Amino acid sequence: MKSLILAGGSGTRLFPLSRKQFPKQFIKIIKNTSLFQKTIQRALHFSKPDEIYIVTNKDHYFLVKDQLGEINADAKIIVEPAAKNTLPAIYLGIREIVKDSGRSTVAIFPSDHLVTMSTSMTEAFSDAEPLAEKYLIIFGVKPTSPHTGYGYIKPGKKIGSGFRVAEFVEKPDHNTAQKYVSKGYFWNSGIFLVGSDLFFAECRRYAKDVVAAFDQPPKEAYDLEEVYGRVPSISIDYGIMEKTTKAVVIPLATAWSDVGNFNAIYSVLEKNDDQNAIIGKHVGINSTDNLIISERLVTTADIHDMTIIETMDAILVCPRSSGEKVKEIVRILSAEKDDRVNRHTTVHRPWGSYTILEDGGTFRIKRVVVRPQHRLSLQMHHHRSEHWVVISGTAKVTIGNQEYLVKQGESTFVPVKVKHRLENPDTLPLEIIEVQMGDPLTEDDITRYDDDFDRIG
């Protein structure tokens, strides 16, 4: 069985934990593992590493690579040139799978949900697999509450261990949700199992514009940018599942959450004796039932049922029940062009990452981590000089015509307008402190001459 993992989402509903450049699936909420990493680990129960395909976009490509590396996993990464919702992503993914292996049965996993791996999950997939050539399988979770934020599936005639899909319904109000739960509706888990032939056939029937965008007579070179320029933005639910007569829902008896707001995170985290879910250091007086996630010390008194999220550059305080208002906060910050909506103080790059420690206007201090055997581009700055102090590992530096090693505890200097390159020739990470000085001091004062990651020009 092939696994196709959808990792292109970019929500900021968990701001300030999530940012546009660091969406929900990459946050390490539970035991220092991200939802994306958990999804890969789950997929490995159904597929071998070379049977796992990940669809993401170019902004998150290196984050995907980083997080795969952290769990020693490998997978084929397919990069979308633009985000066009789930149907184009799935079409592109299954197209690649079929190109590699011919007709296949493909499990499709969103990477931003929390799913507990269990034997009943394996059983559900075993039950589903024989049906996947005749039906498009969607897994349905038995509701534990009348959640108003989820989609529901009304079961019809019984088929195997599942049911024909009688109807898909989107986010109902509370009373309707209660009715659905009592009538045996399922939560739409977003997890699918499809045979490639049937999937393409149903796409040709119901999503002609998607098929046309991908398969219209190719030019000399197949240009994915061009395909994504014309493909519509559409979900698999709306584009196919709600239209096909071949949808079957298979019950999934496992804990499942879309972790769509902080309250959902509270409900999946372990609680202490005061029913607080804490990640970080907290000192509380009479403080109960709170979600507190922080990098530094959080102190509270007489605080109950509250969400407190603290990151290096932004804090959120709201009742746990008000998590849906985060998107309004993000809307305001976006309108103000506040860059904190886009990125954390730590920014992931193809060669590693950097963290801004202080931005002083005419100087900026960064901690830079370069991955083993990686190097930054050969570059030059018109308006800034850089001091580099190696705090861990060994740096190979090129400055002007000189090339030399800078060891732990040593430093070097890059003058204005001099070509330079930072490289980690070692097998351990290289960490440096960079003090940039310049006026003006802007991230875009960079001219690249040679780059391992094709970022020139």
User: Do 306 and 262 form a contact (C-beta atoms < 8 A)?
Assistant: no
Minimum CB–partner distance for residue 103 and a copy of itself (Å):
50
Q: Which of 391, 405, 418, 446 binds a copy of itself (CB under 8 A)?
A: 391
User: Nearer to a copy of itself by C-beta: 362 or 373?
Assistant: 362
**Residue 381 one-letter amino acid:** H
User: Nearer to a copy of itself by C-beta: 99 or 407?
Assistant: 407
Q: Which of 44, 98, 433, 441 binds a copy of itself (CB under 8 A)?
A: 433
**124 vs 140, 192, 368, CA distance in Å?**
10, 11, 46
Q: Binding of a copy of itself at residue 340 (CB under 8 A)?
A: yes
Q: Which of 212, 234, 380, 389 binds a copy of itself (CB under 8 A)?
A: 389
Q: Binding of a copy of itself at residue 413 (CB under 8 A)?
A: yes
Residues contacting residue 446 through CB under 8 Å, at least 6 positions apart: 379, 380, 381
Q: What single DSSP character describes residue 376?
A: P
Minimum CB–partner distance for residue 440 and a copy of itself (Å):
15
Contact string 14-43 vs a copy of itself (x = CB under 8 A):
-xx---------------------------
Helices (H), ranges, 148-207: 174-182, 196-206
Nearest to 307 by CA among 256, 262, 357: 262
User: Nearer to a copy of itself by C-beta: 145 or 362?
Assistant: 362
User: Nearer to a copy of itself by C-beta: 229 or 360?
Assistant: 360
Q: Which of 20, 343, 387, 419 binds a copy of itself (CB under 8 A)?
A: 387
Nearest to 8 by CA among 114, 96, 110, 91: 110
User: Do 203 and 210 form a contact (C-beta atoms < 8 A)?
Assistant: yes
User: Nearer to a copy of itself by C-beta: 33 or 322?
Assistant: 322
Q: Binding of a copy of itself at residue 409 (CB under 8 A)?
A: yes
Question: What number of other Cβ atoms are within 10 A of residue 416's Cβ?
Answer: 14
Question: Half-sphere exposure of 130 toward its Cβ, with a 13 Å CA cutoff?
Answer: 7
In the window 280-339, what residues touch a copy of itself (CB under 8 A)?
Answer: 283, 285-286, 294, 296-303, 306, 308, 310, 313-319, 322, 325-326, 328-329, 332-333, 338
Nearest to 117 by CA among 18, 46, 199, 17: 46
The CA-to-CA distance between both ends of the chain, in Å, stands at 41
Task: Could you list the beta-strand ranges (E) of 20-146.
Answer: 52-57, 76-80, 105-110, 114-115, 136-141
Sign for the pseudo-dihedral over CA of 168, 173, 176, 181 = positive
Distance CA 385, CA 418 (A): 9
Minimum CB–partner distance for residue 257 and a copy of itself (Å):
21
User: Nearer to a copy of itself by C-beta: 31 or 296?
Assistant: 296
Chain-centre distance of CA 290, in angstroms?
Answer: 26
Minimum CB–partner distance for residue 434 and a copy of itself (Å):
10
Nearest to 33 by CA among 71, 75, 66, 63: 71
Stretch that binds a copy of itself, among 72-80, 133-141, 267-275, 383-391 (CB under 8 A): 383-391
Stretch that binds a copy of itself, among 52-60, 119-127, 394-402, 405-413 (CB under 8 A): 405-413
Beta bridge partners of 373: none
Q: Binding of a copy of itself at residue 383 (CB under 8 A)?
A: no
Chain-centre distance of CA 177, in angstroms?
Answer: 29
Q: Which of 44, 380, 437, 446 binds a copy of itself (CB under 8 A)?
A: 437
Minimum CB–partner distance for residue 183 and a copy of itself (Å):
33
Q: What are phi and psi of 387, to 5 degrees?
A: -100, 130
Minimum CB–partner distance for residue 117 and a copy of itself (Å):
34
Chain-centre distance of CA 281, in angstroms?
Answer: 26
User: Nearer to a copy of itself by C-beta: 84 or 366?
Assistant: 366
User: Do 139 and 42 form a contact (C-beta atoms < 8 A)?
Assistant: no
| Count of residues touching a copy of itself (by CB under 8 A) | 52
Q: What are phi and psi of 39, to 5 degrees?
A: -65, -45
In the window 341-380, what residues touch a copy of itself (CB under 8 A)?
Answer: 357-358, 360, 362-363, 365, 367
Minimum CB–partner distance for residue 330 and a copy of itself (Å):
9
In the window 44-83, what residues touch a copy of itself (CB under 8 A)?
Answer: none
Residues near a copy of itself (CB under 8 A) are 15-16, 283, 285-286, 294, 296-303, 306, 308, 310, 313-319, 322, 325-326, 328-329, 332-333, 338, 340, 357-358, 360, 362-363, 365, 367, 385, 387, 389, 391-392, 408-409, 411, 413, 433, 435, 437
